[in-house]
Amino acid sequence: MPCRVVITGAGTINPLGHDVAATFDAMKNGRCGIGPLDIRDVDRLSIQIGGQVRDYDETTHFNRQQIALYDRFTQFTLLAARQAIAQAGLVFAGDLADQSGVILGTSGGGLNTQDENYRVVYEEGKNRVHPFIVPKLMNNAAVSQVSMEFNLRGPSFTVATACASSNHAMGQAFNMVRSGMAKVMVTGGSESMLCFGGIKAWEGLRVMSRDACRPFSATRNGMVQGEGAGVFVFEDYDHAKARGAHILCEVAGFAMSSDASDIVMPSKQGAARAIAGALKDAKVNPDQIGYINAHGTGTAANDKTECAAVADVFGAHADKLMISSTKSMHGHLIGGTGAVELLACLMALCEGVIAPTIGYEEPDPECALDVVPNEARDADVDVVLSNAFAFGGLNAVIALRKM
């Protein structure tokens, strides 16, 4: 008999705020966290905007020894994990520690650390780097540091599936708790690739906007990168109930698929199979879905493919549900994006507010769905989906249900 899985804690730091409350406030008010990039050599970039985490001073959270080992993506992860685990009210010791783990998504891992140290050896010609570059830059650094800080001794690893990393990570965590393999999983994801090399590489693809991320709008002209982390506590329902935990919502289902077709162009069929799979896994009918947090990157290719996939799966109900892209506000957090976007799903279920797609200027006949343009909306929804469709054609969709 599979276990039911619930979320008992949430934490974040992202361009909209340094915690969940601030992020919800920004989403309700349609506030944009995208602005001019404040990074080294920005004048040599053709893309000069991004969703940066502002007003952030690492020294207020971490000591010198920790900073020597924590890349920015690890710092974001730890701050989000501290919030989520504090909210859940869990202390990991004894059997619970052995039955609890960490699975997080990231795409670039310690990319800032790589960028800085490649500069040191290539640009500055130095022959020596700091001794902790490897444990700082490795993609599993964040998972390991979380497991060490909170004594999580069960199944733990990092998932890297580009823009779907967090959803794939949360899907694994969900299935581990559901199967009884773990009691509690700390899961989500993190990204911090807003550095010269990180942006320069993305520029090459010619899919980045120079001014704004306007998903589903006919005037959209590309994606904007963001940074940050989202971390959640996924817990066995019986365990949460027995200890009287406050339950935020249920994780109802998850599905994934591979397009097996193109390394960058998305496929409607692959996306549709993942969406339909999540509905089936959650044992819900399409007409029960009230809201979808779209992958909604603001590129020509994604948005029309995603809308076509939603229309295929939902039929007539596609015109009744709401679908918004919060990337318009926080940017595309790449490997961390699904985690931060799951917050919009939590807000819909827990607070009855649907986050808007801001920057929406003109309807696109190829994206003719209710994209909740520009203003948040009060709505009572019971089941919601969060889509993530990665480069490489790897799709992951998660379903949450109100408790």
Partner 1 sequence: MTTQDQVIAILAEQAMLETSDVALENSLDDLGIDSMSLVESIFAIEEAFDITVPFNANNPSESAFDISTVASIIAAVDKLKAEQA
For partner 1, the binding residues (CB under 8 A) are 64-65, 68, 128, 130-132
Question: CB-side exposure of 208: number of CA atoms within 13 Å?
Answer: 22
The catalytic residue positions are 163, 295, 332
> 10 Å Cβ neighbour count for 215?
28
131 or 365: whose CB is closer to partner 1? 131
Q: Fill in the amino acid letter for 114.
A: Q
66 or 151: whose CB is closer to partner 1? 66
Q: Which of 400, 208, 214 lies closest to 325, judged by CA?
A: 214
136 or 178: whose CB is closer to partner 1? 136
Please state the closest distance from residue 128 (CB atom) to partner 1, in A.
6
Residue 65 CA, chain-centre distance (Å), reads: 28
Please state the closest distance from residue 104 (CB atom) to partner 1, in A.
23
Residue entry with tokens 């060490």: 148
60 or 127: whose CB is closer to partner 1? 127
> 10 Å Cβ neighbour count for 263?
8
Q: How buried is residue 319: exposed, middle or buried, by Cβ count under 10 Å (0-12/13-18/19+)?
A: exposed
Q: Which of 105, 99, 88 lies closest to 184, judged by CA?
A: 99
SS3 213: coil
Q: Fill in the amino acid letter for 244.
A: G
128 or 206: whose CB is closer to partner 1? 128
CA dihedral 175, 106, 289, 324 (to 10 degrees): 180
The CA distance from 208 to 204, in Å, is: 9
Please state the closest distance from residue 148 (CB atom) to partner 1, in A.
13
